Amino acid sequence: MILVTGATGSIGKPLVRRLQKDGAAFKALVRDEAKGRVLDCDFAVGDFDDPGSIVAALEGVDRLFLNGAGAHPVEGEQPMIRQQKAVIDAARKAGVARIVKVSVWHAHEGGRLAEGAHWQIEQYLKASGLGWSLLQPSGFMQNFITGAGSFTVDGDLVGSYADAPVSYIDCEDIAACAATLLTGPYGNGEIFVLTGPQALTHAQIADKLSAALGRTVRYVDLPSEELAATLKSQGLPPRFAEDVAILLKEVASGSLATTTSAVQDLTGRPARTFEDFLAANHQDLQALLVDCKPKFFPMIHN
């Protein structure tokens, strides 16, 4: 039995659909019962901050998909670290054999925001005695339709990436890789860096958006410090905004430009292209940009 956490998110939803299609035995963990019913699968209601609900959800589970909210600090703390460590502890006590965790590319000791938070959880999982596999994806293509991306009031793409390409990946592919690892003997004790099939500059992405939408979308590049200052003006903590600026500089230097064959290796098919993503999500993208409001949240990591 598989337990899927983050089941209503950008990775969880396609993972649920794939496991349903494959006839796998699984249940979803959701915080909202109504959203669980919409998934049309077995589900448990629980929250990472409610230990009893996690213990109950893990009953009968031997494989766990570990995914949760991003690493956004709350009063200087990264709640995700505490939450996911607690879930790992509960999984060990419940007799779970293996955890497939969604991490982030370039997770490392002392890293800022998601990079440092996920590294700490990775080390904890490796030392837990449980079987494990780590998925380290590049930026999500879904960020362009979930509101996590950055568009101006005129519907232009805005960021601070200069001309550095980014190998964005479709969350459908992350889910497909997770399904392979959750349902088979593959990948135990391995780390998989997941990317799309090509790295694109944001100017190239703007061109593809223009072609898909039938109107001109420009890419507006701003200094990372200016975007960080905007985050501060929106009420985000200064330390968070400063960390964002540093991570943006790393992306602008090409830190997310490499592509890998991991999706092909795990699923037996090529990773989806950005054109594939736009075709599958055309209606959602149009709806996002119909009433576009300026939202400066740079897509640095997920």
- Domain presence at residue 223: no
225: CB partners within 8 A, 6+ apart: 245
Averages of pLDDT over runs of 10 residues in the chain (302 residues) are 96 97 96 93 95 97 89 65 96 98 94 89 98 97 74 80 95 98 95 98 94 90 81 73 80 93 98 96 77 49 52
Does some domain include residue 262? no
Token pair belonging to 40:
């049309």
Terminus-to-terminus CA distance in the chain, angstroms? 27
Neighbours of 184 (CB within 10 A): 9
**pLDDT score recorded for residue 94:** 97
- CA–CA separation, 102 and 164 (whole Å): 25
Q: If residue 26 lies in a helix (H) or strand (E), which one and from where to where?
A: strand 26-30
Report pLDDT for 200.
97
Structural domain includes residue 222: no
Q: How far apart are CA 113 and CA 223, in angstroms?
A: 20
Give the torsion sign (CA, 235, 240, 242, 248). Answer: negative
Contact 199, 161 (CB under 8 A): no
Residue 29 domain flag: yes
Determine, yes or no, domain membership for 200. Answer: no
3-state DSSP of 38-66: HHCCCEEECCCCCHHHHHHHCCCCCEEEE
Q: Quick one: pLDDT at residue 263?
A: 98
Beta bridge pairs of residue 295? 151
Please name which of 250, 247, 236 lies closest in space to residue 76, comparing C-alpha atoms. 236
Q: Are 32 and 20 in contact (CB under 8 A)?
A: no
Domain that holds residue 12: 2-141+169-194
% helix, strand, coil for the chain, step of 5? 45, 15, 40
Minimal CA–CA distance to 234: which of 289, 285, 298? 298
* 83, two tokens: 């939450």
Identify the pLDDT of residue 290.
62
Give the pLDDT score at 143: 85
Identify the CATH number of the domain in which residue 31 sits. 3.40.50.720
Q: Give whole-number Cα distances, 251 to 11, 220, 257, 273, in Å.
A: 23, 16, 8, 20
Tell me what pLDDT residue 5 has: 97
- Number of structural domains in the chain: 1
pLDDT score for 69: 66
Output the CA torsion 150→240→79→117 (10° steps): 90
Residue 103 lies inside a defined structural domain of this protein: yes
Q: Is residue 54 part of a domain?
A: yes
- What confidence score (pLDDT) does residue 73 get? 55
Strand order in the sheet with 98-102: 43-45, 26-30, 2-4, 63-66, 98-102, 131-137, 190-194
**pLDDT of amino acid 289:** 64
Closest CA to 120 of 132, 136, 109, 133: 109
275 DSSP β-pair partners: none
Q: Give the dihedral of Cα atoms 199, 205, 208, 210; nearest 10 deg.
A: 180
Q: In this structure, is residue 87 part of a structural domain?
A: yes
Supply the pLDDT for residue 157.
87
